Amino acid sequence: MNTYEIITQEVIKGLETKGLQWFTPWNKGTLNAPLSYSTKKVYSGINFYILSNAMQTEGWTRPEFLTFNQVRANKGSVIKGSKSNTVVYWNIS
């Protein structure tokens, strides 16, 4: 499965669970914007929507996201059976 197919599935899942409100989570006034734990930068573009949907769907109140290696580097652990979230890295060369 390529990146486009993964993102398309995430968008469809968001639309099925939240309808068109999935595209405007900030209108509720309760959203903590998803951000990188290590850099404290807010995710942008499609990553903002995907991670916002994950936060709403799962009921998460903390907006920080880490990679598996960042969890280990901070002496944390990942709960067995946890699922990862898709994040797209892009760069203009």
In which band, very low, low, confident or very high, does the pLDDT at 54 lie, cut at 50, 70 and 90? confident
Task: Output the 3-class SS for the chain.
Answer: CCHHHHHHHHHHHHHHHHHHHHHCHHHHCCCCCCEECCCCCECCHHHHHHHHHHHHHHCCCCCEECCHHHHHHCCCCCCCCCCCCCCCCCCCC
In which band, very low, low, confident or very high, does the pLDDT at 22 lie, cut at 50, 70 and 90? low
Q: What is the pLDDT of residues 25-44, one digit of tens each?
A: 555 555 678 999 999 999 98
72 HSE (CA, 13 A, CB side): 3
